[in-house]
Amino acid sequence: MTTAELAGQTSGGARLLAAARAVIPGGVNSATRLVGRPHALTAASGAYVTDADGRRYLDYHAAFGAILLGHAAPEVDDAVRAAIGGIDLVGWGVTEPEIELARLVAETIPSAEQMISAMSGSEATAQAIRLARAVTGRPLIVKFQGGFHGWHDAVARNVISAPERAYGADPLSEGILPEALGSTLIAEFNDLDSVRALHEAHPERIAAVIMEPIPHNVGALVPSAEFVEGLRALTREQGSLLIFDEVITGFRHAPGGYQEVCGVRPDLTTFGKAMGNGYPIAGLAGPRRLMERFSSAGGDVLLAGTFNGNPVSSAAAIATIRYLLDHPDFYERTHALGERMRAGLAGICEELGIEATAAGFGGVFSLYFAAGPIRGYRDLMRNNDDAYVAFHRRMTDRGFLMLPLSLKRNHISAAHTQEDVDRTLEAARDVLRGIRDDGLLSPA
């Protein structure tokens, strides 16, 4: 498609974006949504979204992974319709949907005995970190280079860092107090010694280690069993809590999240995104002895939020989790399609002489333009970012929605089919050949 044709295709979207910029900063409500065409989306159903000019895209972005069953999944939307017109937001006492959701979570997530509800993953991780500091009486947090745990001050640093800023001071924003940034220490994923060294350097001062069990915010770094098991043992030995941030991995890779897959139980678990299939809801769960430190149970850790336990969002989450429990073949299908995609991309790159690594887990896939193995962020610094962005941009222009930012992942939902994957691979072969021929990467 020529530039002129693309301009014509996106004219309606460009007009909407221009109108948005008059009343919304930059025209979008989250900076990572400002990624070029399509500028505005107007409809979504199943595995597809439609832009303001009527062009359909096979959606692998899936709202950063929030869409698990497909857009407008009838099982979820029907539950929401049934909830509307019943109890709405009252801000008093408790509602039946909140109780039912908490029971489901406690029955499904291995480490959960009790849960609290929130509206976003950032809220859930903020609550987890505050609780960890209160329980341990310690000030410091450890996160991993490349991990993203929300926009709040405690963790807003060292995600997709340039090589010269990785592991050092790399805040995501201005306006954060230096002491807040300094209270979060940076380790290397899949490197237990880096975590041990921080505990030794700061004895009895680390409250918790927070980790994405698979750091999907930089694609897909799959942990070794030795690393996860060693981290569990190390934190117990040092008296710090282990927090699994399963905002992305939760419910997507198994009903009980990645902790069900790896067999390691953290002290606290955060979750969100896919649990409501697009409706705003998140949560924090853990054992009763920790969760009852919240002020709602007479403890000393503030629990507040007008929209916590929202009945409509709770209904969406209940329907999503029930679907997953009633359809175990969901995981068989999405894992098989993910493996088909990863194997197909790896084969195409080998065929074209392109040095690349097809990574992922379950229905999540990423194509790094670097030789493997890729275990931690140091390995990701070898990635060809220009080729990565070009691959996603050119695939999107062909009708396969992939966020054109480096290291962003792709998601397969229940609505995707084998035919969708095969069509994607067919397009990817042409796109990768073009990237190679345009000199955007070095041959293997």
> Which pLDDT does position 307 carry in this prediction?
96
442 pLDDT band, cuts 50/70/90, is: low
| pLDDT (tens digit per residue) in 294-321 | 999 999 999 999 999 999 999 999 999 9
Question: For the whole model, what pTM was predicted?
Answer: 0.95
> Distance between CA atoms of 310 and 87, rounded to whole angstroms?
10
From residue 158, give the alpha-carbon distance in Å to each of 28, 154, 167, 217, 326.
24, 11, 7, 12, 39
Q: What are phi and psi of 282, to 5 degrees?
A: -155, 180
Per DSSP, which regions of 289-336 are E strands? none
> Distance between CA atoms of 112 and 256, rounded to whole angstroms?
10
Strand 140-144 to 184-187 pairing: parallel
> Distance between CA atoms of 360 and 350, rounded to whole angstroms?
18
| pLDDT (tens digit per residue) in 330-358 | 999 999 999 999 999 999 999 999 999 99
> Distance between CA atoms of 224 and 207, rounded to whole angstroms?
24
Q: Is the pLDDT of residue 161 over 60?
A: yes
> Which pLDDT does position 4 carry in this prediction?
42
| pLDDT (tens digit per residue) in 402-434 | 999 999 999 999 999 999 999 999 999 999 999
Q: Is the pLDDT of residue 7 over 60?
A: no
27: buried, middle or exposed (CB in 10 Å: 19+, 13-18, 0-12)? middle
Label residues 279-304 b or e (16+ Cβ within 10 Å = b). bbbbbbbbeeebbebbeeeebebebe
**DSSP, res 43:** E
